[in-house]
Amino acid sequence: MTTTSLTRTTGADLDALARQSKVLASAGWWGKDPMVVAAQILVGRDLGLSDTRALTDIHVVKGRPVIGYAALGALVKRSGRYTYRLVHLDDERCEIEWFELFGAARESIGRSSFSVEEAKVAGLLKNPTWAAYRQDMLFARAMSRGVRRFAPDVVGGAVYVPGELDDEPARGSEVIEASVVDEVRVHRYDPDVERRREAAIVELDRLVEGRDDRQAAAIWAAVERRVGGEVNDADPDAVAGAVQALERWLERDTEDRLIALVAKADEARP
């Protein structure tokens, strides 16, 4: 199974990163502080994210990484070891069931949830984002809680989603709030879409079942290349089509083609 490990960074790497971060910060798209930009990139590389995805999905709050919930879900799904299923979601509560691969069998290892009552006790409902996008915020909290409890090795330890830490982020609190709103606008919950997405991911899980860690990660990466983005972000019908096409492609010369997929995934790895 693929788990997160810290990337060994040399002095030359840091010099290159410093130059890269200065250029990116000067553009102003992801903040203006090169040191914060560099920190986001380093965290993203540890998680296996591209530099631009890291700058989009990771923020620095109280010296800790805050990760968008869609990116967090994608990391879980493509770990090859863990996955999850949305059990319940409405305006009052979100519940997620978590699964881990033991040998060739995927077993339930527990459930995480977050409710409006908990949000009320924590004083979260005063935030206008919670009023406008309640289901999305419930899902984000249940997701991060589940990763901390059941799949911490996916991110190398504790993880937070936007809004969980009280201090202002290094890039400015308005950036964090904007990122939450932008994300929930993109990932508004639609029951029909989510059912189709879940069905597509079940088929993808079936395709990787029984493969070793590198093969499972390579298959997941191949599907994401075909749909042009992360599975959790893509159109579920496109994901289903990509899974079916890849399954047909693997029917012949399976071992040789798996080797080719692993080699391609290794080349793309930061």
DSSP-derived secondary structure for 44-97: HHHHT--HHHHHHHEEEETTEEEE-HHHHHHHHHTTSSEEEEEEEESSSEEEEE
What CA–CA distance (Å, rounded) separates 60 from 176?
A: 9
For residue 236, is it within any domain? yes
Average pLDDT over residues 198-209: 80
Q: What pLDDT shows up at residue 183?
A: 46
Report the C-alpha gap between 85 and 250 in whole angstroms: 26
Q: Distance between terminal CA atoms of the chain?
A: 18
For residue 207, being part of any structural domain is answered with yes
101 found inside a domain: no
259 falls in which pLDDT band (50, 70, 90)?
confident
Number of domains composing the chain: 1
169: DSSP letter: B
What does the DSSP 8-state code read for residue 232?
A: T
Lowest mean pLDDT among 113-122, 150-159, 177-186, 239-248: 177-186
- On the question of pLDDT at 64 being above 60, the answer is yes
Q: Whole-model pTM?
A: 0.56
Residue 157 domain-assigned (yes or no):
no
User: Higher confidence at residue 270 or residue 256?
Assistant: 256
Residue 22 lies in a domain: no
Handedness of CA 215, 217, 218, 220 (dihedral sign): positive
Spatial separation of the C-alpha atoms in residues 194 and 95, rounded to whole Å: 14
Residue 227 lies in a domain: yes
* Phi, psi angle pair for 65, to nearest 5°: -75, 135
Assess whether pLDDT exceeds 80 at residue 13: no
The answer to whether residue 118 sits within a structural domain is: no
User: How distant, in Å, are the alpha carbons of 36, 65, 268 from that of 265?
Assistant: 28, 25, 5
- Who contacts 133 (Cβ-Cβ below 8 Å, separation ≥6)? 180, 181, 184, 185, 188
Residue 157: count other Cβ atoms within 10 Å of its Cβ: 11
Is residue 93 over pLDDT 90? Answer: yes
Residue 94 vs residue 127, higher pLDDT: 94
Does residue 133 have a pLDDT over 90?
no
- Does some domain include residue 140? no
Give Cβ neighbours of residue 259 (< 8 Å, ≥ 6 apart).
Answer: none
- pLDDT at residue number 178: 38
Question: What percent of the chain is predicted at pLDDT more than 90?
Answer: 17
| Containing structural domain, residue 263 | 192-268
